[in-house]
Amino acid sequence: GDFALSPPYTLKKAGELYSYLRSPNAKPLPRKMVYEMLIAASHAFEAQAAACGSLIHVPPPAKPGERLLVCGDTHGQLQDVLVIFEEHGLPAPGNAYLFNGDIADRGRNATEIFVLLLAFKLACPDIMHINRGNHEQRDLNERPFANGGGFAWEVRAKYPHDELLIDLFQNLFTNLPIASLVGEWALVIHGGLFREEDVTLDDIRAIDACRQPPSVLQTRDDTLLFDALWADPHDGDGIVASDNRGGVSIQFGRDLTKAFCARNGVQSIIRSHQLPKRKRGYEIQHDAMLLTIFSASNYGGVCGNRGGVLVFDDRGPAEVKEFYAPPLDEYRALCEERALLVVMPRIAHWLACARLGPARRPQRQQSRGRRAAALASWRQLLYRVSASGVPLSPRRRRSDGPHSSWDLSPSRAALRAD
């Protein structure tokens, strides 16, 4: 039957959902389950926004062996998330994840990605963090897949005639944080930095993000929200208009990155939002103070790029791990084959140990006969029995010495007579 996951949410249940999504038999998740998780997660993110604003603090790894893994755009490519969890471990205490937006649109399995991440978030809030990206907004979600959108149409295809479910997703999106601060090591933000001058962490924290991003920038707050989601870097200095994002967004130079980091006491900026130029899973710019991390491998099924995951350890940003995920149906088939390779030897061993099968029938019959004979001998020793072998009463015990024992003499005589 269909997979079902209900409250209370636990890491075990989240792990079972992960295993189900790897199965070739996986179907769209039950509507009721998606509703319950979206409502619970929206309440959690609303409370977080009320307490922290649009900027959250993500604890950096504190001890050797602990990790924080930062993932970039996944754009509905469920196979990338499944491969990341397979290679780097499921979210758990000491193995936390931060997804830096753009989970929605383009690919056709963003619903499953959101539900999987939320399952871990609801089970243990400190091991899963999610930033908002520019594709976590309604107008892009309503575009067709061919025009870079598609998420609303994905939801409609899986849950027909349910506009309320799309509204619930939008409510979740507007409550996601705009940026995350990982100690003093890095500010993690989807798009990038700002055209406004002297922006501080407090300014980011105070952004009114519980709304759809504006298409017309009328206030400083509008501009900060828009740039946080849409800005791109360029290799020079200063602010320039972006030609490839509608003429409204901007590109920021290395001087802005250096000034922002110095003003706010952070060592680097981690962002996502665009495919790295060399089709790697990452790109380093601005004198190694800016890192783009992108986690949708073979983006759109045509780009041939690797995906990347940034790994923080207790000493800071340690390395970028790259990967290349096969298409989802191929990945699920591989998971099934690997599971069979593990299970079949165990079944063969169990069959051999249990001596099952027609060829072993004589041996099983002999074994049962030996057990029955042994049982009959012990019955003769311990009980007085009738002629038919039915136990009547225990044999009396002797107590004529320092140690009492069973009176076995009649049985011994009977054994000698045999």
| Active site amino acids | 135
DSSP state, residue 233:
E
Q: Amino acid letter at 214?
A: P
Cβ-contact 103, 133 below 8 angstroms: yes
Strand stretches in 101-203, DSSP E: 128-131, 179-182, 186-189
Cis peptide before 8 (omega within 30 of 0): yes
The 10 Å CB-count burial string (b at 16+, else e) for 265-289 is ebebbbbbbbbbeeebbbbebbeeb
**Helix residue ranges, H only, 178-319:** 201-205, 220-230, 254-264
Helix, coil or strand: residue 151: helix
Collect all residues with Cβ–Cβ distance below 8 Å to 301 and sequence separation of at least 6: 327
Angle between helices 78-88 and 110-123 (to 10 degrees): 40
